[in-house]
Structure 1
Amino acid sequence: MIPESILKQYGALKITLGKKEVLFTEQSIPRYYFQVISGKIKMNNFNADGKEFIQGIFTSGSSFGEPPLFQELAYPAQAEAVEESSIWKLEKGTFFKLLKENPEIHLQVTRTLAARLHYKATMVAEISSESPEHRLLRLIDYFKEHIHNIPVNKPYVVELSRQQLADLTGLRVETVIRAVKALEKKGVLQIQAHKIVR
């Protein structure tokens, strides 16, 4: 999102996380802006029964964890590396200075936050009232169109595991597997080499 040259200019540091390494925990106080260079970072929490709910998965060029940074609130979820990952880390005060001195970047950050709010509002409605098949299609289409910017008429290979799909939609993994099979039978998606293609 923010060009790497600008991040370097403002003193951002590059850090590396190993698979499953936690960057920050739920309820910790935000002190940095984070942006993925490579790998995948997920923001997640767990309910009282230990079931994981994934708030979002962030890949190269994506930032994450900004809303609490702006509001001086604790993080509502933890951030964990899905795989070995490199990220930019920029101190909070310097991040705000960067935004004030670069209005176009500030606008882009605002657009990104607005898109995430839209996604959250959409998914809350889906999770509370729609069938598992509908929830999965909405999630897959969101990733296809808004995360990976793939045109509707082009095939999209879903890189998320069945478990990650379950954790993003609030479903059980067994329900996801059944729903995917049902959608394949209906011809809505395909399974190729164990990957979902839509």
Structure 2
Amino acid sequence: MFRSINRWFLVSINPYNMINEDILFSFGADLRTYDPDDFIFSEGEVPSFFFLISSGKVKLNNYNEGGKEFIQGIFSRGNGVGISSLFTEKSYPVNAVAVEESEVIRLPKAQYLQLLQENPDNYFTTIQSLSEHMHYKFLMAESIAFQNPAQKLLTLMNYLKDHHHDQSKYALQILLTRQQLASLTGLSVETVIRVIKNMEKEGILKIKNRKIFY
């Protein structure tokens, strides 16, 4: 279960161009620690808070009737989760679940909207974050609908590579498990393993100690 920690001041500045953590705490935010597999919010809940990841990783997912997981995205430090639902007055369409032990800043919705009104620059960073997420969703939606398994994995890895500082071959370590790759692309784990082995044979990627480099 999560552990709640109140903090009114942090010296760290968000390096991912979202919102300065100190500003969030000055508006009454608190910091909560979640263990792996803890739910931060659940599908169907009415949004009441703005959530910003301070450390760790959080995934947005859904489960079908058979219990199969589909991961909508995996987010790390500096990313907000569930932001769009704060502006729609609709319930969350996804779950937010901690992938590893994570610290998440939580600010009540009313205070978050007040923060945006009093700090207009943060509107721009919020729009940037939402736009980047929409870009990813459009890429993956097209990939899942029309592409073969290898192309689906390449679409995901190319997206990750585009945001990496080193564009040289094999410079990017894919920090996702085979299961996570499957859940992000709508493939089975067995298909992911088979396709990755074929991609290694073709020189598209390299595997070292079971780690994937692209």
Q: Same fold (TM over 0.5)?
A: yes
Say which of 110, 124, 128 aligns to 2:145: 128
Q: Which has the higher helix share?
A: 1
Q: Is 1:17–1:84's contact at 8 Å kept on the other side of the alignment?
A: yes
- AA at the equivalent of 1:157: Q
Q: Which residue number corresponds to residue 179 of structure 2?
A: 163
Q: Where in structure 1 are there 5+ consecutive unaligned residues?
A: none
- 1:98 maps to which of 115, 126, 129: 115
1:175 to 188, 191, 199: 191
How many matched pairs?
Answer: 196
Match of 1:75 among 83, 92, 97: 92
Structure 2, gaps ≥5 residues long = 1-17
Paired residues for 1:27-42 under 5 Å = 27-42=44-59
- Mapped to 2, the partners of 1:79 and 1:143 lie a distance apart of 21
Shift of 1:145: 2.3
Distance (Å, rounded) in 1 between the aligned partners of 2:58 and 2:40: 9
Q: Distance in 2 between matches of 1:151 and 1:72?
A: 40
CA RMSD across the alignment: 1.1
Residue type at the aligned position of 2:54 = I
Q: TM-score, normalised by structure 1?
A: 0.95
Give CA-to-partner distance per residue, 1:41-60, whole Å, 9 cap, x none: 11111112211000111111
Matches of 2:60 and 2:204, distance apart in 1? 29
**Cα offsets for 1:1-54 (capped at 9, x unmatched):** 211121122121000001111111111100000011111111111112211000
Of 69, 75, 83, which aligns to 1:58? 75
Residue identity in the other structure for 1:145 = D
- In 2, Cα distance between equivalents of 1:166 and 1:190: 18
**Cα pair 1:29 1:74 within 8 Å, conserved:** yes
Q: Look up the SS of the partner of 1:15 in the other structure.
A: strand
Q: Which runs of 4+ in 1 moved over 6 A?
A: none
Does the 8 A contact of 1:145 with 1:151 survive in 2? no
1:100 to partner: Cα distance: 1.4
1:166 corresponds to which letter in structure 2? Answer: A
Return the TM-score normalized by structure 2: 0.88
Aligned partners of 2:121 and 2:86: how far apart in 1? 19
Find the counterpart in structure 1 of residue 167 from structure 2: 152
